[in-house]
Structure 1
C-alpha cells in the first residue's frame, strides 16, 4: 500500500566542506531563532548539508524544549547523559552519502533496551539500575544508521499490563503523561510518552511498541503518525515483552514520510529474534518503503470503510463532515472506496475473553517476561513473582493501593501454554482468517479504514500492520492488510 507524504520526497546533500565551515558561524546565531519542531527529516538533512545546522545544535534545541515542557507533559523519563558527545560524533562522521537518519535525535520507549548509561525499566521502579546485556535489535540498527539516542520516553507502566485500573500514560518512574494539545484528553498508551514527545517536538521521531493498540492509540490521541508493523518485521529482541505472537516495534513521528524513514532503518532480520524476523525479512521490498511515498499512491487502490460499530458520529457532526471530506480527497487521489463494510465476527474479536486473547496473553507474558529478566546482567528482580513482591514492598511509590496489580496476579497464576492457551491461540488464528482476511479477499481490498483505534484488537490477534495518522481536524487509523502480506 503506497503512502502519501506531506513533505518533499527528494533532497540533495551538498558536498562542499568549505562552504559548510564558512556558514558555521552564521548557523549558530541562525539556529537559535528557528523552530525546528516543525522540521521534517528531509528539512533537517537539507540544513545539515548546507551548513546551517549541526546535530549538536539540533540536540540542544530538543533538550531546551524538553526542559521547558517535560515538567508538565511527562513525556521523557530519562535523557542520555552522553547525547551531546554523540551529536558531535555524528557531526564529525557526516558524509555526503550518509543516510536519512544520520545525526537525527530519536527517543525510545522505556521498554527498549540500550547498553549505555540510560536505564531500561518499562516505567517501573523494580528495574531501576538493572543492566541489560546488549542494545535491543532495533537500537543496533538505529545506531548503525547514525541516529542519536536522545533518551527514553515515558510509558504506561509495564505496557499497561500490570493493572486494569492504572490510567493511560502513568508509571511510577514517569508520572502521568499529558496530551500536549488538550490536558483533559486521554493521551492513551502504552507508548504514551513516545507520542506526546513527537507531538510536542521533543525529538525528530520516536519509537514505540505495540501488543494491542499501544502505538496506534497514543498516535491518534496526540495527533501524530504511528506505524505498527507486521509482527516480525522489526526485531523484538531486547524489548520488555508481553507476547511473542503480538509484540511489534514501530515509529511515531509528525509526518508519514518521517515515520517511513525510521521504519526503513529498523526493519529486518535479527538472529536474536530469528523465528519472527526471518520470514518477515523476505517480504521487505528491495529499496525499502520510502520509494512508495508518491502523490499518486492511492491511484486504483481499493479501500474498504468499516462503518458498523466504528463510525458512531452524530449526523451533521464535525467528525462526520471531516471524514466525508477526507474520503472525498481519497477519491480525488484515485482511490476506489468500498463503503458500509462489516467484519462478520467482529464482536467476538473485540472481546478478549471470547476471542481467547486474554488467556493467551496472560500465559505468554509470564513466560516471556521471566525469560527477559533472566538475561539481565544485574537486576533486583528475576521473575514476575519477584516484581509482584517488589510492588507490595513499595506500595506507596508504585501506588498499589490505588491501582493494584490484578493483571500481574492473574498472569502469575498461569502455568505455561497448556490446552486452554493453545486452543485460544488456534481460535484467534481462525477468527482472523474468517474475519478480516476473508473480507479483504472477498472485496479485493488493499486497505481498510476506521476513525480511531477501537478496532486495534482485530489487527493485534492476527499480527497485521496498522497506521494511525491525521489530516486537519481528522484523526484516523488506517489498516493495511496488504502490508501484512507483502511487506509492512
Structure 2
C-alpha cells in the first residue's frame, strides 16, 4: 500500500463512522441524492479499508474478493437508476458473473458460472456496483450441528469488528462484519433461519429478511425453497429499503416470486411514518435470560412509547412442533434443491463439478483435513438420507401453518397489534473453532417469521459492554413496507448510544 493510500485510509477511518451515524438519521430525498454522489467517490476508500483491515491489520476475513475496477464502474453509473453507483458486497452463495460462487466450500472453489443471479441483474440495472464477495458460514451453516459460525474453508473465520475475538454469527457473517467495518455502502445476505438478522444484530447494523418471494432465489446456492431469501444488510433502515427496492422482482424461474404484492419503492413514506397510536406487541417471554440485554431492550421500548407507540405486553410460548417439522423440511429440501443447483452449473473443461449432495459428502470425506478439521458434516449425512416425500409434505404443511396462521397471525389479531417486537439476539460470544458456537438461545423470536416466510427487521438498539445488540420488528406476510417504516421511525426515536468498531479484542470496562 502506498503512502498516499495510507493517508487516505487514515482520513476515512476517522470520519466514516460519524458520517454513517448522521446518514442513518437523515432520510430526505435531497440528502440521499447528495449521498449517492458521495458513495460513488467513496468506492476507492472502501477498497483501501478492505486492504488495511481485512487483508491486513486485524484481518477480519469478511471479504473473499473485490473488484479493483469498481471505482470506475461507480463513476460510470453515478446517474443510473435508484442506486446511482452505490457499492454492494455480495454473500458468496449468490452468483455474480465476475467472481466464483463458492458457498465457502473448496468443492466450489472454481465455480465460475459467468451468470448473474436475477437479484444481481436487478441490482446492476438499478445502478448498483458489485464491489466483491463476502465470506459466510460454509454452506450457509447447514453442514454440521457442531459448526462455528463465520468459518469457511475458502476464507477461514470471520472476525467481529467490534471485538475481533468474538463471533459474527451466521451465515451472512462476512456481510455483517463488512458493513460494520465500513467496507461498502451495503451488502446482500441470505437467510433460511436467522442468517441475516443474527449477524446484523451482533455486528451492530440493520438487517432485513423480506417475505419469501419478494426477492428471487435463482442462482443462489440453496438450502430451502420454503424458507430461503436474500435481503439487505446496511447502516440504516432507509438504505435497506433502497437496496430492497433495487433487488426485488418477479422471476419466472422462481415460482415463489410470481404474483407477489411488492411495493415499487420501499423507501416511499419511510421518513414520515409516525409511531403515534401504533400498537406494538411486546414478546415478553422472548426477551431471554440476559439481564443486560433486557435493560437495553426496555430502553428501546421506552423510546418507542415516548414517540407515541402503544405497547401491548404478550405472554406467549410457541408450539414447538414447528421447529422439528421445519428441520425435516430443511433436510429434505437441502438434498433436493442442492442437487438442482449443482446440476445447473455449466460444465467446465478440466473441472469435476459436484452434481449432488452425495457428491459434496464424498468431496468432504476426500478432503477431510481441510474441510472437516473443525467440525463434521452430520447434517449433510442426515439430509442425504431424508427421502420420504410424504413425511416431508406433512412436516412442511404443519410447520408453515403453525408458524404463520397459528403463531404470527394469531398474535397480531388476538392482541389487536400491527407489529411484534423482541430483542434479536444476545451479544457476540467468543469464537471457538474447537467447541463450536455457544450463543444464548433464550433470546429472540425470529424462527416463526423464518419458517412462515414473514418479514423480520433488526435495527441496532444499543450495546452490552460495547457489544452490539439489535431489536427485531415483525409484521404480517407481505407487510414488508410497513415493517421498514416502523424500523425507520424507531431509528429516529432511539436514544441509545451505538458503539463504534474497535478492531481489537474485547476488553472489560471499555
> Normalising by structure 2, what TM-score?
0.80
Instruction: State the 1:413 CA deviation.
Output: 1.4
Alignment partner of 1:83 is 2:70: yes
Instruction: State the 1:272 CA deviation.
Output: 1.9
Output aligned runs, 1:261-410, within 5 Å: 261-273=242-254, 275-280=255-260, 283-285=261-263, 287-314=264-291, 318-345=292-319, 347-349=320-322, 352-353=323-324, 356-378=325-347, 380-398=353-371, 400-410=372-382
CA RMSD, 1 decimal = 2.3
Q: Within 1, Cα distance between the matches of 2:202 and 2:227? A: 22
Q: Is the 8 A contact 1:70 1:76 kept in 2?
A: yes
Match of 1:150 in 2: 131
Match of 2:122 in 1: 141
Q: Which runs of 5+ in 1 are unaligned?
A: 1-28
Instruction: State the 1:88 CA deviation.
Output: 4.2
Specify which of 43, 46, 52 is matched with residue 34 of structure 2: 46
Q: Within 2, Cα distance between the matches of 1:54 and 1:305? A: 37
**174-183 or 297-306, which deviates more:** 297-306
Q: Is the 8 A contact 2:454 2:476 kept in 1?
A: no
Q: Is the 8 A contact 1:36 1:61 kept in 2?
A: no
Specify which of 141, 146, 149 is matched with residue 168 of structure 1: 149
| 1:397/1:185 CA distance change after superposition, 3 Å | same
| 1:333/1:272 CA distance change after superposition, 3 Å | same
Match of 2:90 in 1: 108
Between the two proteins, the alignment pairs up a number of residues equal to 436
Output aligned runs, 1:196-275, within 5 Å: 196-273=177-254, 275=255
Q: Which runs of 5+ in 2 are unaligned?
A: 1-6, 426-443, 484-510
Q: Within 2, Cα distance between the matches of 1:325 and 1:142? A: 37
Q: Is the 8 A contact 2:9 2:49 kept in 1?
A: no
Q: Within 2, Cα distance between the matches of 1:64 and 1:81? A: 10
> Normalising by structure 1, what TM-score?
0.84
Match of 1:440 in 2: 412
Structure 1 residue matching 2:472: 3-state secondary structure: strand
| 1:293/1:154 CA distance change after superposition, 3 Å | same
Q: Within 2, Cα distance between the matches of 1:209 and 1:216? A: 10
| 1:124/1:30 CA distance change after superposition, 3 Å | closer
Structure 2 residue matching 1:337: 3-state secondary structure: strand
| 1:208/1:486 CA distance change after superposition, 3 Å | closer
